[in-house]
Amino acid sequence: MAISQGYDRCVSTKKANKRTKNGKQKPGVTGLDKKIVATNRRARRDYEITDTFECGMVLRGSEVKSLRESQVQMTEAYGRIDDGELWLLGLNISPYASTGSASFGHVPDRHRKLLLHRTELDRIEARVQRERLALIPLSIYFIGGRAKVEIGIGRGKKEFDRRHDIAKRDADREAERAMSKANHRRY
């Protein structure tokens, strides 16, 4: 009996640690589902992505509101490391429509700072310089109310690489069709 009471007490304290005194959950505990705002489909087609990282973004309030409405274009965006900081250039976040005047809005094409741990940033910087790779944003999403960017490290594909990928995809699709036809004929 005493063992089960101690176990119940332990479980209840773990649950209590996730909540504040007034019963509300702590920030970061709720809303861990990913709400994707935009994806860069051309990035996977034009680059061979070898590694990905999740970065935070430094944004203004009107930029966050525009992101929540998916008013963003990231086809021409790329990352650059300057003075030990990671920057996202070429990302166009349209001005928020409900802003009263232009002075309260933001510049759509400004450089945005990305947030990473120093060890990750140093590892990325060394790899980009050593292997001559590119930093490409793959998607923008919200997790727990915070805007995040998935950055990929990759090498640009040549034209024959793209053709090879298309041929492989078509061959896989044909094989899948043939297998499904064979399975349907059996029954």
Secondary structure class of 33 (helix, strand, coil)? coil
Residue 34 lies in a domain: yes
Give residue 35's identity as a one-letter amino acid code. K
Residue 9: inside a domain: no
Hey, what long-range contacts does 125-129 have (CB within 8 A, 24 or more apart)?
A: 125/81, 125/84, 127/51, 127/153, 128/81, 128/153
Question: Which residue is listed with tokens 């001559």?
Answer: 132
**CATH number of residue 66's parent domain:** 2.40.280.10
187: in domain: no
H-assigned helices in 18-99: 41-46, 61-68
- Count of structural domains, the chain: 1
Q: Looking at the chain, which runs of residues are DSSP E strands?
A: 34-39, 47-57, 72-73, 78-82, 85-89, 92-93, 112-115, 134-143, 146-156
Distance CA 142, CA 23 (A): 24
Confidence of residue 185 (pLDDT cuts 50, 70, 90): confident
Beta bridge partners of 51: 153
Q: Does residue 12 belong to any structural domain of this protein? A: no
Q: What is the pTM of this model?
A: 0.67
CB atoms within 10 A of CB 136: 23
d(C-alpha 63, C-alpha 149), whole Å: 14
Say if 113 falls within a structural domain. Answer: yes
Mean pLDDT of 41-65: 87
- The closest of 87, 153, 155, 150 to 123, measured between CA atoms, is 153
Structural domain includes residue 78: yes
Sign of CA dihedral 98, 99, 105, 107: positive
pLDDT tens digit string along 74-127?
888 889 999 889 999 988 888 877 765 555 677 777 888 999 999 999 999 999
For residue range 122-161, what is the model confidence (pLDDT) as tens digits? 999 999 989 889 899 999 999 988 999 999 999 887 777 7
Residue 100 within a domain = yes
Per DSSP, 40 falls in state -
Residue 15 lies in a domain: no
For the chain, give the mean pLDDT: 79
